[in-house]
A and B are shown apart, each in its own frame.
Chain A
Protein backbone atom coordinates (compact mmCIF):
# COMPACT_ATOMS: atom_id res chain seq x y z
CA UNK A 1 0.00 0.00 0.00
CA UNK A 2 1.19 3.51 -0.78
CA UNK A 3 2.56 5.11 2.36
CA UNK A 4 2.96 8.64 1.02
CA UNK A 5 0.63 10.19 -1.55
CA UNK A 6 1.29 13.39 -3.43
CA UNK A 7 -1.70 13.94 -5.68
CA UNK A 8 -0.37 16.92 -7.63
CA UNK A 9 2.10 15.86 -10.35
CA UNK A 10 2.61 19.51 -11.30
CA UNK A 11 1.78 22.91 -9.87
CA UNK A 12 2.17 26.46 -11.16
CA UNK A 13 2.41 29.58 -9.04
CA UNK A 14 2.97 33.23 -9.80
CA UNK A 15 6.13 34.76 -8.42
CA UNK A 16 5.61 36.31 -4.96
CA UNK A 17 2.43 34.33 -4.30
CA UNK A 18 2.01 31.46 -1.84
CA UNK A 19 1.53 27.84 -2.88
CA UNK A 20 0.48 24.68 -1.05
CA UNK A 21 1.82 21.28 -2.00
CA UNK A 22 -0.30 18.39 -0.75
CA UNK A 23 0.89 15.29 1.04
CA UNK A 24 -1.12 12.57 2.76
CA UNK A 25 0.35 9.59 4.54
CA UNK A 26 -0.67 6.24 5.91
CA UNK A 27 0.70 4.75 9.10
CA UNK A 28 -0.48 2.91 12.18
CA UNK A 29 2.53 4.06 14.20
CA UNK A 30 2.03 6.65 16.94
CA UNK A 31 5.56 7.99 16.55
CA UNK A 32 6.70 9.06 13.12
CA UNK A 33 8.37 11.94 11.36
CA UNK A 34 7.40 13.83 8.23
CA UNK A 35 9.90 15.54 5.95
CA UNK A 36 9.89 17.69 2.85
CA UNK A 37 12.76 17.79 0.36
CA UNK A 38 13.42 19.95 -2.69
CA UNK A 39 15.12 18.52 -5.76
CA UNK A 40 16.31 21.08 -8.33
CA UNK A 41 17.04 19.99 -11.90
CA UNK A 42 20.67 19.35 -10.89
CA UNK A 43 19.45 16.36 -8.88
CA UNK A 44 20.57 16.92 -5.30
CA UNK A 45 18.00 16.50 -2.53
CA UNK A 46 17.75 19.48 -0.19
CA UNK A 47 16.09 19.05 3.21
CA UNK A 48 13.49 21.77 3.84
CA UNK A 49 11.42 21.06 6.92
CA UNK A 50 10.52 18.42 9.51
CA UNK A 51 7.38 17.70 11.57
CA UNK A 52 7.23 15.15 14.37
CA UNK A 53 4.00 13.32 15.03
CA UNK A 54 3.94 14.57 18.63
CA UNK A 55 4.70 18.17 17.73
CA UNK A 56 1.71 20.33 18.55
CA UNK A 57 2.86 23.36 16.61
CA UNK A 58 3.18 23.41 12.84
CA UNK A 59 6.82 23.50 11.78
CA UNK A 60 8.17 26.61 10.08
CA UNK A 61 11.54 27.33 8.43
CA UNK A 62 11.78 30.72 6.81
CA UNK A 63 9.36 30.82 3.86
CA UNK A 64 8.44 27.16 4.38
CA UNK A 65 5.74 25.99 6.75
CA UNK A 66 4.10 22.65 7.23
CA UNK A 67 0.32 22.45 7.65
CA UNK A 68 0.09 19.34 9.81
CA UNK A 69 -3.38 17.84 10.30
CA UNK A 70 -2.81 14.65 12.22
CA UNK A 71 -6.39 13.37 12.24
CA UNK A 72 -6.55 13.74 8.46
CA UNK A 73 -3.02 12.35 8.07
CA UNK A 74 -1.93 15.24 5.93
CA UNK A 75 1.30 17.24 5.96
CA UNK A 76 1.03 19.93 3.32
CA UNK A 77 3.97 22.19 2.51
CA UNK A 78 3.26 25.89 2.21
CA UNK A 79 5.77 28.10 0.42
CA UNK A 80 5.16 31.79 0.90
CA UNK A 81 6.34 34.57 -1.41
CA UNK A 82 7.42 32.20 -4.18
CA UNK A 83 10.67 32.91 -5.98
CA UNK A 84 11.88 31.76 -9.39
CA UNK A 85 14.49 29.62 -7.64
CA UNK A 86 11.71 27.63 -5.96
CA UNK A 87 11.01 25.88 -9.27
CA UNK A 88 11.91 22.24 -8.58
CA UNK A 89 10.54 18.84 -7.63
CA UNK A 90 9.26 18.60 -4.06
CA UNK A 91 9.08 15.31 -2.18
CA UNK A 92 7.20 14.46 0.96
CA UNK A 93 8.67 11.65 3.07
CA UNK A 94 7.79 9.78 6.25
CA UNK A 95 9.91 7.85 8.70
CA UNK A 96 8.08 5.34 10.88
CA UNK A 97 9.30 3.62 14.03
CA UNK A 98 11.16 0.96 12.01
CA UNK A 99 13.42 3.79 10.84
CA UNK A 100 12.69 3.28 7.13
CA UNK A 101 11.98 6.43 5.17
CA UNK A 102 9.36 6.37 2.41
CA UNK A 103 9.06 9.02 -0.27
CA UNK A 104 6.10 10.20 -2.30
CA UNK A 105 6.18 10.47 -6.09
CA UNK A 106 6.81 14.20 -5.93
CA UNK A 107 5.24 17.43 -7.21
CA UNK A 108 6.92 19.55 -9.87
CA UNK A 109 6.52 23.22 -8.96
CA UNK A 110 6.98 25.89 -11.61
CA UNK A 111 7.16 29.52 -10.54
CA UNK A 112 6.06 31.95 -13.27
CA UNK A 113 7.62 35.42 -13.49
Chain B
Protein backbone atom coordinates (compact mmCIF):
# COMPACT_ATOMS: atom_id res chain seq x y z
CA UNK B 1 0.00 0.00 0.00
CA UNK B 2 1.77 3.13 -1.18
CA UNK B 3 1.65 6.42 0.60
CA UNK B 4 2.69 8.58 3.50
CA UNK B 5 2.19 7.39 7.05
CA UNK B 6 2.14 9.79 9.96
CA UNK B 7 2.04 8.52 13.49
CA UNK B 8 0.60 8.86 15.98
CA UNK B 9 -2.69 10.39 14.92
CA UNK B 10 -3.07 12.10 18.31
CA UNK B 11 -0.26 13.04 20.67
CA UNK B 12 -0.20 14.69 24.06
CA UNK B 13 2.78 16.48 25.50
CA UNK B 14 3.53 17.52 29.04
CA UNK B 15 5.17 20.84 29.74
CA UNK B 16 8.95 20.68 29.25
CA UNK B 17 8.83 17.46 27.28
CA UNK B 18 10.19 16.71 23.81
CA UNK B 19 8.02 14.65 21.50
CA UNK B 20 8.75 13.16 18.09
CA UNK B 21 6.27 12.90 15.25
CA UNK B 22 6.90 10.18 12.70
CA UNK B 23 6.59 10.51 8.93
CA UNK B 24 7.36 7.52 6.68
CA UNK B 25 6.87 7.27 2.92
CA UNK B 26 7.18 4.50 0.36
CA UNK B 27 6.60 6.68 -2.69
CA UNK B 28 10.34 6.97 -3.36
CA UNK B 29 10.00 10.76 -3.31
CA UNK B 30 13.15 12.80 -2.76
CA UNK B 31 11.65 15.81 -0.99
CA UNK B 32 9.85 15.78 2.34
CA UNK B 33 8.22 18.63 4.27
CA UNK B 34 6.74 19.41 7.66
CA UNK B 35 3.93 21.93 8.04
CA UNK B 36 2.08 23.30 11.02
CA UNK B 37 -1.60 24.23 10.81
CA UNK B 38 -3.38 26.23 13.50
CA UNK B 39 -7.19 26.26 13.72
CA UNK B 40 -8.81 28.12 10.86
CA UNK B 41 -5.49 28.92 9.23
CA UNK B 42 -3.33 27.80 6.36
CA UNK B 43 -0.15 25.74 6.45
CA UNK B 44 3.19 27.13 7.57
CA UNK B 45 6.44 25.45 6.64
CA UNK B 46 8.60 24.21 9.52
CA UNK B 47 11.40 22.26 7.82
CA UNK B 48 12.02 20.58 4.50
CA UNK B 49 14.51 18.17 3.03
CA UNK B 50 15.35 17.77 -0.66
CA UNK B 51 17.76 14.85 -0.23
CA UNK B 52 19.00 12.48 2.43
CA UNK B 53 21.26 14.00 5.11
CA UNK B 54 20.25 17.53 4.16
CA UNK B 55 17.42 19.73 5.40
CA UNK B 56 16.52 23.41 5.48
CA UNK B 57 14.61 25.63 7.88
CA UNK B 58 11.22 26.90 6.85
CA UNK B 59 9.38 29.94 8.15
CA UNK B 60 8.77 28.71 11.71
CA UNK B 61 11.66 26.36 12.56
CA UNK B 62 12.31 27.68 16.07
CA UNK B 63 11.55 25.05 18.70
CA UNK B 64 11.61 22.19 16.20
CA UNK B 65 14.28 19.80 14.92
CA UNK B 66 14.40 17.19 12.16
CA UNK B 67 16.65 14.50 10.73
CA UNK B 68 16.80 12.81 7.32
CA UNK B 69 18.96 9.73 7.72
CA UNK B 70 16.89 7.65 5.28
CA UNK B 71 14.97 8.60 2.18
CA UNK B 72 11.82 7.06 3.60
CA UNK B 73 11.79 8.84 6.94
CA UNK B 74 11.64 12.47 8.12
CA UNK B 75 10.83 12.64 11.84
CA UNK B 76 9.98 15.95 13.49
CA UNK B 77 10.87 16.63 17.13
CA UNK B 78 8.89 19.28 18.94
CA UNK B 79 11.20 20.47 21.67
CA UNK B 80 10.41 22.10 25.01
CA UNK B 81 11.61 25.35 23.44
CA UNK B 82 8.43 25.44 21.34
CA UNK B 83 6.16 27.32 23.73
CA UNK B 84 2.93 26.91 21.82
CA UNK B 85 3.07 23.47 20.19
CA UNK B 86 -0.65 22.72 20.13
CA UNK B 87 -1.47 22.38 16.43
CA UNK B 88 -2.10 19.98 13.57
CA UNK B 89 1.12 18.79 11.93
CA UNK B 90 1.21 17.64 8.32
CA UNK B 91 4.00 15.83 6.55
CA UNK B 92 4.28 16.02 2.75
CA UNK B 93 6.45 14.57 0.01
CA UNK B 94 7.23 15.56 -3.56
CA UNK B 95 8.81 13.74 -6.47
CA UNK B 96 11.61 15.37 -8.41
CA UNK B 97 12.50 19.05 -8.81
CA UNK B 98 9.73 20.27 -11.06
CA UNK B 99 6.22 21.43 -10.32
CA UNK B 100 4.78 18.15 -9.17
CA UNK B 101 2.20 18.53 -6.40
CA UNK B 102 3.01 17.72 -2.82
CA UNK B 103 1.31 14.66 -1.37
CA UNK B 104 0.27 14.75 2.26
CA UNK B 105 -0.07 12.34 5.14
CA UNK B 106 -3.15 12.28 7.35
CA UNK B 107 -1.58 14.49 10.01
CA UNK B 108 -0.82 14.36 13.73
CA UNK B 109 -2.79 16.43 16.21
CA UNK B 110 -0.56 17.54 19.10
CA UNK B 111 -2.01 18.86 22.35
CA UNK B 112 -0.51 20.07 25.61
CA UNK B 113 -1.57 18.36 28.83
Stretch at the interface among B14-22, B64-72, B98-106: B98-106
Looking at chain A's contact residues, the main secondary structure is strand
Interface residues on B, range: 20 to 34
Given contacts A42-B106, A44-B107, are A91 and B99 in contact (CB under 8 A)? no
Contact partners of A113 in chain B: CB under 8 A? none
Contact partners of A101 in chain B: CB under 8 A? 33, 45, 102
Given contacts A91-B42, A101-B45, A106-B41, are A43 and B97 in contact (CB under 8 A)? no
Q: Which residue of B lies closest to A34 (CB)?
A: B99
CA separation between A91 and B48, bound complex, in Å?
A: 20
Is A11 interfacial (CB-CB < 8 Å)? no
CA separation between A33 and B35, bound complex, in Å?
A: 19
Is B55 interfacial (CB-CB < 8 Å)? no
B99 and A43 contact, CB distance less than 8 A: no
Given contacts A43-B88, A43-B106, A44-B107, are A35 and B101 in contact (CB under 8 A)? yes
Chain B residues in contact with chain A, CB under 8 A? 31, 33, 35, 40-45, 48, 50, 58, 88, 90, 92, 97, 99, 101-107, 109
